[in-house]
Every structure is written in C-alpha cells, then in structure tokens.
Chains A and B, each alone.
Chain A
Amino acid sequence: MMGFDFVLYEQDYDQIQQVLHRLKEGANAQMVFLIDRNGSMVAFQGDTENIDTTSFASLAAGNVAATESLARLLGEREFNVLYHEGAGQNIHMSLISQRVILVVIFSNKSALGLVRLRVKQAANELERIFTSLMEKLERDRELIGASLNQFAEITDEDIDALFGGPESERDRGRPR
C-alpha cells in the first residue's frame, strides 16, 4: 500500500540507539549503522564525521538488494550476512527481520569472530524491538494517520518554499 508504512517514535529510537551503542562497544567497532531496506538511515553510533552516511545507507541497501537477488538466482532464499574485507577496515552487514540492515564497520583492532558474536546478540534485541514496533504501528494506524492530517493542508506555496520560492532562477534552466 501507499503512504507511510514505517514510523519510528522517540522511545523506540532510544532503545535502538542503546542496542547499537552496546554493539559498538562490545564488538570494538568504529561505527554501527541501522539502515532501512529502502536506503534510509534509521540510526547510527560512532564517529561518522568523515563518512557520508546518506550515501553509505543508499549503497548498503543497494548492495543487500543485489545480493539478495543473487541468492534467489542460486535458489537460496537469502544470504543473511555480507562481509567486505579491506586493508584497514571491514564491513559486516546483516539483514534483520527482513526489514532493516545492521552494519558494523571495524578495523583490525577487532576480529570478525567477535563482531559476528556481538551482531548475533544485537540482532535478537533489534528483532524484538522491531516486532513490537510493527505491532504498535498496526494497532495505532488510525492514530498515526490522524497525526499526519496536517499534510492534508499542504499547499503549492509549501512546495514552492521547499524549492526556494515560486519562480526560482533554476526553473528557467541554464542561461543560453
């Protein structure tokens, strides 16, 4: 269906952040991301200053989607874990509840075995959080819908404002 299908509240967000924080510490990782399958960042932990997290999220989602299709070509349902090994940094990605991607970035100060162990623990916790989140979403659909009623009044002016005024210069194209 169209419209919203994934709504994240503060309380769930905090819980997710706690899990990600524990995972980052426990796995001795540099960064931990949780990414929506469609490529949106849900939450992250670690020093991301030198990383373009938005691009990272979209590429990771593309990577997982492509890998999933590869699995199907082979008759596998999915490959649960993706692992990329670099000279200094490594990426571990896993799919959780068929809905979000958990990404751990770690250097050689950690080890794949440790990361896998900690990811497994975090995955169980995240699965619980997302199961209850989706149940809540189903239960509160009408309530959430009502809170989005403000979008019923969205006007052309609202949209123009987003794009920098009604007749912004870029609309007219490059000067010839």
Chain B
Amino acid sequence: MVFINYAAREINVKIVYYGPGLGGKTTNLQYIYERTSPDQKGKLISLATETERTLFFDFLPLDLGTVKGFRIRFHLYTVPGQVFYDASRKLILKGADGVVFVADSQRERMDANIESLNNLKVNLRENGLDIRTIPYVLQLNKRDLPSAVPVEEMLRVLHVKGEPVFEAVATRGIGVFETLKTIARLVLQELKKTTHAMG
C-alpha cells in the first residue's frame, strides 16, 4: 500500500521482483544498484545463503527525484525463488504496490516459471491483492542463452493480462531499466486510478 507522507511530501512505493529460483531477480537489483548514482540509492541489502541464494529478501531503496512535487521513494524487493521458501515469499508480497515477474527463458525452466507464476497468484490473493488489478510487468530474462524458448511460446503460458513484456539479459543490463521504469509508471498511474474510482 502506498504510504504518502504529506509532512515530508514523500511517497513510498514497494515493488517486488518475483519469479523462479536462479531466474535473475537479484541480478536485476544488482544492475540497478551499479548503474544508479550514489546520491539516489541506499545500500543493497541481501539476506542470502553462503552460496548467494536469496534466503529472505534483497532490498534496494531508490530515491530518484520528484514527480508533481512529491519525492518518490522506490523500495525494491526480491523474493527467494526456491520453492521451499514460500512462507518468506508471502511475507514480502505484503503491501506490494507493484510486481515484476522475472521469468527464466531456458526451456528446462519453463515448468518452474509456471509453478512460480501460479504461486504468485496464490500468495497475492492471500495478501488481499489480485494479479488482475495490481500493476504488473513480465520480464523474459536470459534471452541470450541458446536454449531460450521463443517469446511467443513463453507468452502463451506466462502472459496473464496483457501486461507489458520486456526481453532481458539482466547480467548485461539489457531490459533492466526498461522493466523498472514501466512498473514505476504503472504504480504511479494506479494512484490516480484509485482517485478516480473514489471520486
């Protein structure tokens, strides 16, 4: 839920990167961290295992500037992708304002993509959220790998509601900022939509 601080003229936005294990969620955040100037970012926090698998979450705060007189603070989170960390995933989705699904394009990971997407739908619901209404972007990562499944084929099984789709190679930064920009825009636009619905 967007937290609007009028006293500080600040809007806090929570964006969660979701997807199967080893799909590149953390890599997305690392790239954003590397390519953002020091005055615009906080520390990248990774609660990871010894083998650098995400254990609880990664967290990156971004403070990119103002829109319409409000300072927008993005809080980017990743979830642990491994199946057995479901309890943690559920916690991190709580209060999410937008979700990026990072799919792994390798053919052998298609089942994992589908399982993770179904898990996202369930966990959103359990947090009182709905994939059909929450700002949502699909990123097809690892497009450079030889076993990458054709985009059309991936969309047939992973495209939920006509959401924006980006092809990415997160290790090289391709598609990373495009994805972030788009989810940011969708979340900020959602503010106004709610406004209209209430007005």
Using a CB–CB cutoff of 8 Å, the interface residues on chain A facing chain B are 1-10, 12-14, 36-40, 42, 52, 54-55, 58-59, 62, 65-66, 69, 141-142, 144-146, 148-154, 156, 158-163, 168, 170-174, 176
Contact = CB atoms under 8 A, between A and B. Distances in A.
Interface string B59-79: 101001101110011010100
B56 A6 contact: no
Q: Which 7 A-B pairs have the closest CB atoms?
A: A3-B194, A13-B7, A173-B173, A38-B95, A5-B1, A170-B35, A152-B192
A28 to B, nearest CB: 27
A13 B4 CA distance: 12
Contact of B173 (A148, A150, A162, A170): A170
Interface of B: 1-8, 12, 14, 35, 42-43, 45, 47, 56-57, 59, 61, 64-65, 67-69, 72-73, 75, 77, 87-88, 91-92, 94-95, 97, 129, 133-134, 169, 172-178, 180-181, 184-185, 188-196, 198-199
B95 to A, nearest CB: 4
B184 A4 contact: no
Contacts, number: 171
A158 B67 contact: yes
Nearest to B98: A2
A144 B180 CA distance: 27
A3 B181 contact: no
A38 to B, nearest CB: 4
Contacts of B12: 36, 38, 40
Contacts of A168: 177
A148 B189 CA distance: 11
A162 B72 CA distance: 9
Given A148-B192, A149-B199, 19 more contacts: A2-B193, A4-B3, A6-B4, A8-B5, A10-B7, A37-B95, A54-B42, A58-B77, A62-B91, A66-B56, A145-B195, A151-B191, A151-B192, A152-B192, A154-B68, A159-B67, A159-B184, A162-B184, A172-B174
A127 to B, nearest CB: 19
Nearest to A40: B12
A173 B195 contact: no
Contacts of A158: 67-68
Contact of B191 (A4, A141, A171): A4
Given A40-B75, A162-B72, A7 B91 contact: no
B57 A62 contact: yes
B190 A162 contact: no
B74 to A, nearest CB: 9
5 contacts: A3-B193, A4-B2, A40-B12, A172-B174, A173-B172
